[in-house]
Amino acid sequence: MITTSSLPLPSDSLTMLMPVQCSKCHKNVQLLQPGPPSMCCHVATYTAPSSYSHHYPPHQLPLTALPPPPYSHLPPRPPLFARVCKRAVICAVSYKNSKHELKGCINDANCMRYLLVNRFHFPESSILMLTEEEADPNRHPSKQNMIKALYWLVQDCQPGDSLVFHYSGHGKRKKNSTGDEADGYDEYLCPLDFKTGELISDDEINAIIVRPLPHGVKLHAFIDACHSGTALDLPFLCRMDRSRRYLWEDHRPPSGVWKGTNGGKAICFSGCDDHQTSADASALSNTTPTGAMTFSFIQAIEHGHGTTYGDILSSMQYTIRNAENEDCDTGTSSLLNITRRGSLAAGFTQEPQLTASEKIKLKKPFSL
């Protein structure tokens, strides 16, 4: 078997090396182009094909939709050998001047950006904001712009990368007729132009940012919307039983279609179950409207309840269930001062959900 060490390197070899990944041990190796059709990884003693191809899990088919052409209005791709390993897309749709207007979405987006930069050390240049307040219309949260942003989020991702998708806006559900939904319904996000039929389905989101995730890449999604429990169509949902123990439910579709990743990990916190609605009000803030899910997640992190995935889920559920008993005078951190805590006038009928591409341990440390 020919290896790179047995080939003479030309003077401009740097421009002729193509990175490949061993499909057995996932070690990064480099192959000369043009070169042999395969090479040997000395770690796994396994032949790695020199041409890139997806290795889909059982039942998973290659995506039929190709990514849109390069989008000049998005942040530029990081240069070679200086990649940004953390990347985020934050979408907030407030539907201004319409009967569907929401008051808390922009606040949710600003707070999430603050959290990512100041708590989880995301470079500001690696966070793409789509809101109606952006001066550039290409960064308004229309369906086309949101789809392009999601493609950008996972573009060229590599092992070690951490990706975040946050959405605050309306959601809806419709009857499914293809048999690929465990509950019989498709869930949708409602972009700015949703009244013209421009919805984004859970199937589309899954195909764009879940199924292509390679080994070593992790994606966290935060969906603050109605009917958002399975907004990413992930195979497993964590639910509390009557003994108040968390158990994983199998939500793989009856049709057998693959909804998992290509080796990476996808985890989603959502505002409510698929049949529930999420609150957008000043109920958790004396003066500033917020989404209940986003607020409760930020509070869990800021108050030190975000050590593990189970801790975060429990804290979020507790905050929403018991907000009416919260003390308005409780001290808050610098981040929570942006959306000051308050008391809940009327109880919420929503239960934050946790879904994942695999059954993760709830005591697993949380990190972005």
In a shared domain, residues 14 and 109: no
Predicted local distance difference test score (pLDDT) of residue 228: 79
Encode pLDDT of 19-78 as tens digits.
555 555 555 554 444 444 444 444 443 333 333 333 333 333 344 444 444 444 555 554
- Quote the tokens at residue 111: 């707070």
Q: Let me know if residue 248 belongs to a domain.
A: yes
Classify residue 367: in a domain, yes or no: no
Instruction: Judge if 10 and 130 occupy the same domain.
Output: no
Q: Indicate the number of domains in the chain.
A: 2
- Extract the runs of DSSP E, i.e. beta strands, from the chain: 17-21, 28-32, 38-41, 46-49, 86-92, 127-130, 162-168, 171-175, 185-189, 200-201, 218-224, 236-240, 246-250, 265-270, 280-281, 290-291, 353-356
Same-domain pairing of 210 and 335: yes
- pLDDT at residue 249 is higher than 70: yes
| Residue 208 maps to a domain | yes
| Number of neighbours of residue 261 by Cβ within 10 angstroms | 25
Strand partners, 291: 280
Give yes or no: residues 152 and 44 share one domain.
Answer: no
Confirm whether 170 is a catalytic residue. yes
SS3 295: helix
Task: Please check whether residues 43 and 125 belong to one and the same domain.
Answer: no
171 or 166: which carries more pLDDT confidence? 166
Using one digit for the tens of pLDDT, what is the confidence trace for 7-20? Answer: 333 334 333 444 55
- Catalytic residue, chosen from 41, 91, 140, 170, is 170
Residue 18 lies in a domain: yes
pTM above 0.95, yes or no: no
Shared domain check, 212 and 97: yes
The count of other CB atoms within 10 Å of the CB of residue 81 is: 6
In-domain check, residue 207: yes
The predicted pLDDT at position 279 comes to: 67
Q: What is the pLDDT of residue 7?
A: 34
Verify that 145 and 281 share a domain, yes or no.
yes
pLDDT for residue 352: 87
pLDDT, average across residues 178-186: 76
Among 171-180, 196-205, 306-315, the minimum mean pLDDT is found in 171-180
The proportion of the chain whose per-residue pLDDT surpasses 90, expressed as a percent, equals 40
Does 247 lie in the same domain as 143? yes
d(CA 261, CA 53): 15
**196 belongs to a structural domain:** yes
The predicted-structure confidence for 216-225, as pLDDT tens digits, reads as follows 999 999 999 9
Q: Does the residue 197 lie in any domain?
A: yes
Q: Which of 226, 238, 268, 272 is an active site residue?
A: 226
Q: What is the CATH number of the domain that holds 221?
A: 3.40.50.12660
Q: Do 148 and 293 fall within a single domain?
A: yes
Q: Is position 37 within any domain?
A: yes
Measure the CA–CA gap between 333 and 345, rounded to whole angstroms.
Answer: 23
Coil, strand or helix: which one is 337?
coil
**232 and 342 both lie in a single domain:** yes
Range of the domain at 26: 4-49
* Residue whose token pair is 């279609």: 257
Is 41 annotated in the active site?
no
